[in-house]
Structure 1
Amino acid sequence: MVPKKIILIASVFLIAGLLVTGFFIFRAKDSENAFVPDRGTSMAPQSQPGGEDRGVSSSPQAMNFTWTKESGQRIAGGIPFAHKLMDGRIRLYYCGQGGVLSAISSDGLNFTKESGTRIGPGSGNEAVVCDPTLVTLSDGRVRLYYKGADGMGGPGKAIHKIYSAISLDGLLFTKEGTRIDSEQTDDRGWASVPEALRLLDGRVRLYYVSDSVVSGHGTVSAISSDGLIFTKEDTKLTGYVDPSVTTLPDGRYLLLASSPMEGGGIYSFVSNDGIHFEKPQIVLAESEAIDPAIIMLGDQNYRVYYWLFSDQPSIIYSLMGLLQ
């Protein structure tokens, strides 16, 4: 009999017709004790045990969010990234048929797919492209970072690297080349699922999933003064993947991530410096929920987009977070 636990496996799965490869979480059929809340359930944060040896602090977390799942579906697709435009609309970049796509919404709930492909596949290590993230530059242009892979399979079977592309309007992008070459770093051929954050001083911090010995397959970060050449930092969140980062009103960093090691679901961390994070809290105790994408709406309200890996075809959902 399969043990009652969540199993971390490397495999290939389908997102809106696009084959995507990587580590994901699988809920064993006999895991009847797993908590899967109904849609629309409101969930208060709960502290999680452990963490001292996984790159997180043992100090208590002074943060109080109430998370509420929103009804309905946002759009067909997976691995979302949310970008708030100057006019208040939300553009959602996501993976779908043909590569990285986008959709637009005036309320963040009802999305209309935009025509064309934002980032399409290429040759070599861009045979598969996915996992978009974006920053706005000082001159108004936007730079999109994404994962490129040479094929299917987990670490040791496929090479994942991080690339970038530049755009004037967030729709038409010109590829710029490799940003994190996982074959030239300690990532052991696996630099994937990037999350970019532009700091107040103009530097760009890139969180991503690494298979380095130090990270133990988890989230790390690298910093850049020009958004092109990155230097590894001390961030280490072992066992937590698919990072998404924003800032809190007090200037601290809020990071969300998926965690197969904790039995699945989405967790949150806070940090004073964006490198060293406190113990996690539960955001969504749903084992199949992965790839969170958080966006600050204002008035201490946040929205998180995510998808369920069991959905075929894949569907993006959302939940709201109120900071008390």
Structure 2
Amino acid sequence: MPDPEGPSFHQVLIAKSTDGLNWETDSRILIDQASVPEVVRFSDGRLGIYAVDGSGQGGPGYVYAESRDGGKTWTCGKMNFAGFGADPDIVWVAENTMRLYSVMFPFGPGQPPSPGQNTKPNSVNSAISTDGKNFSVEEGTRLEGVNYTDPDVIRVGNEWFMYVSTGPTAWAAKSNDGVKFELIGKVNETGAVSGSFVFPDGKIRHYYCANSGIESALSDTGGSVWKKEIGIRIPKAENVKIVCDPSIISDGKSGYWMVYKIQPK
């Protein structure tokens, strides 16, 4: 039986903004039975969403959705990824090359241990793709830690920063190459599972899951403590139990798109 709190009961939606603070959504479901979405824009204008699969449509643990008409319609398909993982996050490392970060659990794809019983570290691994569908797993691990989940990677100048979550606490790690990360420390204790974005003016904004919905914070540098912003970016509606897992991209013009997941009540 599917976990009643798991991806089988989640839905992926999209919101739009002109300033990164005020977001509007039409509550249209892009993918049903999917969670932890990650959105990317390809150089040819296509949009892609990678998410944890709760329906069995995708590859090992993932479903891939693609739009060729600016997000009006989406088609779900498969991706070729030989590793098992969860919580996908994608960054472009070259014009046509992307790196997929994902969490590998020590208990594998089976039932996780009861809360408080896991003492083995989770690992953040990575894979490379030049077409967005076929991924080759890279050797080694990018970061390890007990109960680490939901990697969120951005590039700031010549440095890479990864944010991982342990419950409502967010932690930052730093890398010079996007491959070997070293933990810096705790950056937020009031919400985690972030989607971070570097704006054209250099502003670093972190969107994250909180009790009231998706909130946001700024940081002076990629590794500094987050400073919470006033307001809620995506509030939790009355008929919704969870609003979480933000992922942000430019709309290709002067605005921004956010994909995120909800769990209806």
TM range (shorter): 0.7 to 0.9
Per-residue deviation, residues 247-301 of structure 1 (Å, max 9, x unmatched): 2232111110001xxx331101122313232223311220521111111214441
Structure 2 segments unaligned to the other structure (5+ residues): none
Q: CA deviation at 1:41?
A: 11
SS at match of 2:5: strand
Between the aligned residues of both structures, percent identity stands at 24
Q: Distance in 1 between matches of 2:14 and 2:48?
A: 24
- AA aligned to 1:171 is K
Note if contact 2:143-2:182 (Cα within 8 Å) is conserved in structure 1: no
Q: Distance in 1 between matches of 2:251 and 2:27?
A: 18
CA RMSD of aligned residues (A): 2.9
After TM superposition, list the pairs within 5 Å mapping 1:37-76 onto structure 2: 65-76=21-32
- The residue aligned with 2:103 is 147
Note if contact 1:100-1:117 (Cα within 8 Å) is conserved in structure 2: no
- The residue aligned with 2:81 is 118
Normalised by the size of structure 2, how large is the TM-score?
0.79
- AA aligned to 1:73 is I
Q: CA deviation at 1:80?
A: 0.1
Q: Distance in 2 between matches of 1:250 and 1:240?
A: 25
Of structures 1 and 2, the larger Rg is shown by 1
After TM superposition, list the pairs within 5 Å mapping 1:188-203 onto structure 2: 189-201=146-158, 203=159
Number of residue pairs aligned between Structure 1 and Structure 2: 240
After TM superposition, list the pairs within 5 Å mapping 1:20-99 onto structure 2: 65-76=21-32, 77-96=34-53, 97=56, 98-99=60-61
Structure 1 segments unaligned to the other structure (5+ residues): 1-10, 19-38, 44-62, 122-128, 183-188, 212-216, 312-324
Normalised by the size of structure 1, how large is the TM-score?
0.66
- AA aligned to 1:157 is Q
- AA aligned to 2:43 is M
Q: Distance in 2 between matches of 1:99 and 1:175?
A: 15
| Aligned with residue 266 of structure 1, among 203, 214, 217 | 214
Note if contact 1:94-1:132 (Cα within 8 Å) is conserved in structure 2: yes
Q: Distance in 2 between matches of 1:142 and 1:299?
A: 22
- The residue aligned with 1:283 is 233
Runs (4+) of structure 1 moved beyond 6 Å? 39-43
After TM superposition, list the pairs within 5 Å mapping 1:77-226 onto structure 2: 77-96=34-53, 97=56, 98-106=60-68, 107-118=70-81, 120-121=83-84, 129-138=85-94, 140-151=96-107, 152-153=112-113, 156-158=116-118, 159-176=121-138, 177-182=140-145, 189-201=146-158, 203-210=159-166, 217-226=168-177
Per-residue deviation, residues 6-37 of structure 1 (Å, max 9, x unmatched): xxxxx87331389xxxxxxxxxxxxxxxxxxx
Asked whether 1:307 is paired with 2:264, we answer no
Q: Distance in 2 between matches of 1:14 and 1:301?
A: 31
Q: Distance in 1 between matches of 2:150 and 2:30?
A: 21
